[in-house]
Structure 1
Amino acid sequence: MIDTLGKRIKMLRENLGITKAQLMKELNINNLGRFEADERTPGIDIIIALSKYFNVSIDFLVVGEEAKQEFSNEDSKVKHILGDLSDEEIHFIDLLRQVDEKEKNKIEGMLELKIAEAQTNKKGMSSTYLSGDEAATKENLA
């Protein structure tokens, strides 16, 4: 069992793979190193911010309830990586799960092509392929 608040904060931060500097910047806090070394105890406002950031209970941070830890760490890591998904993104993921690996690879290739085209267009370069909107506009003009 991780027996101190500082050690739990450090463990949660390391599980997300972020540095002290990154966490201090994101939460606008100082003294993280001293908190993690148990040289100083954060105030309740910082404990609340850490609890929300890591998606763990305040009880876990302060007391060390192990039951909440495992689920919260994975959930927190996923939320940190993905952020809040929109309804459209969730729908897209649901659709993607319905196709086999070969189709997923085709979709991935199409997405990579579209991203490359968008980046090329952003730089002001012309693209060999027309986007759907460009093709429709060109067709309407003809």
Structure 2
Amino acid sequence: MQSIYDRIESLIKMRGMTKKLFCEELGISTGNLGDWKRGKSTPSTNKLVEIASYFDVSLDWLILGKEQEPFLIKENGCTYDWKECEQTKVSLSESEIEFIKEYIHFIRYKKKQSCDR
């Protein structure tokens, strides 16, 4: 079973960066990273959020190794899987797709903010 550190290490490798650069970019001491590796400690919640955001992965995956659920779009009683929409020959430009993704993230953020009140 992979640990949080193992997943972080694989992200670092996939990005083609050094552990030292990773630590510098995210303000983590190499000592803390070593403690995570040895299981002496784990990243704080805030740091996990930063790491997930930096590598654009879900917190579920980073913490638990759980794959992200497919993103479903509901419209007029029909449900669409975002991946299927991306694979169809819909004539959206790359900037339009990025706008839609940003809008979805914004709506999720606003929804979370209203739930936290």
Normalising by structure 1, report the TM-score.
Answer: 0.43
1:39 offset after TM fit, Å? 2.7
Partner residue in 2 for 1:10: 9
Of structures 1 and 2, the one scoring higher in RCO (CA 8 A, sep 6+) is: 1
CA deviation vs aligned residue, 1:45-92 (integer Å, no higher than 9, x gap): 110010001100011000002457xxxxxxxxxxxxxxxxxx7xxxxx
Q: How many residues align?
A: 68
Q: Are the aligned partners of 2:8 and 2:62 in contact in 1 as well (CA < 8 Å)?
A: yes
Partner residue in 2 for 1:24: 23
* Greater Rg over alpha carbons, structure: 1
Pair 1:35–1:55, CA change in 2 (3 A): same
Partner residue in 2 for 1:51: 52
Distance 2:65 2:3 in 1: 8
Distance 1:56 1:65 in 2: 11
SS at the partner of 2:36? Answer: helix
Q: Are the aligned partners of 2:60 and 2:66 in contact in 1 as well (CA < 8 Å)?
A: yes
Gap runs ≥5 in structure 1: 69-86, 88-142
| Structure 1 vs Structure 2 CA RMSD | 1.9
Distance 1:39 1:10 in 2: 16
Taking only the aligned residue pairs, the percentage that are identical comes to: 32
Gap runs ≥5 in structure 2: 70-94, 96-117
Partner residue in 2 for 1:42: 43
Q: Are the aligned partners of 2:60 and 2:67 in contact in 1 as well (CA < 8 Å)?
A: no
- From the two aligned structures, give the one with the greater helix fraction: 1
